[in-house]
Amino acid sequence: MTDFGHDGGVTSARLIGAVAGSAISLVYLLPKHRREAAVRFLTGVACGLIFGGPVGLWGAAQLGLEGRLSPAETMLAGATLASFTAWWGLGVLVRLTGRAGDKVGGPSP
């Protein structure tokens, strides 16, 4: 198993991956408002920081790259994927609840 310890490079990779995942997601699913963008960005970064390690280890295991990636590379990939997934999940949830609200409330007069 990869040791993530308190290495500065791993911490930097975690932060860079979390921000990169949110930034990449901006290209694919644009927010409608600034507030939505801020909430989704911060959620993506938080999820990347929190879940970057486990997601990186899971991804490396799924791809058979456990012994070939450094801890920093594993963390960077994991944080990016976790952040990207959180951004997409929140974006889809916002869109679905917005549509459901339109159907329930009907058109405004």
Instruction: Measure the CA dihedral 88/94/33/16, to 10°.
Output: -30
Return the pLDDT at 57: 93
Predicted TM-score (pTM) of the model is 0.70
Return the pLDDT at 45: 87
> 12 pLDDT band (50/70/90 cuts)?
confident
Residue 1: partners with Cβ closer than 8 Å, 6 or more residues away: 57
Cα distances (angstroms) measured from residue 47 to each of 69, 87, 103 = 22, 9, 31
Return the pLDDT at 14: 85
Return the pLDDT at 15: 85
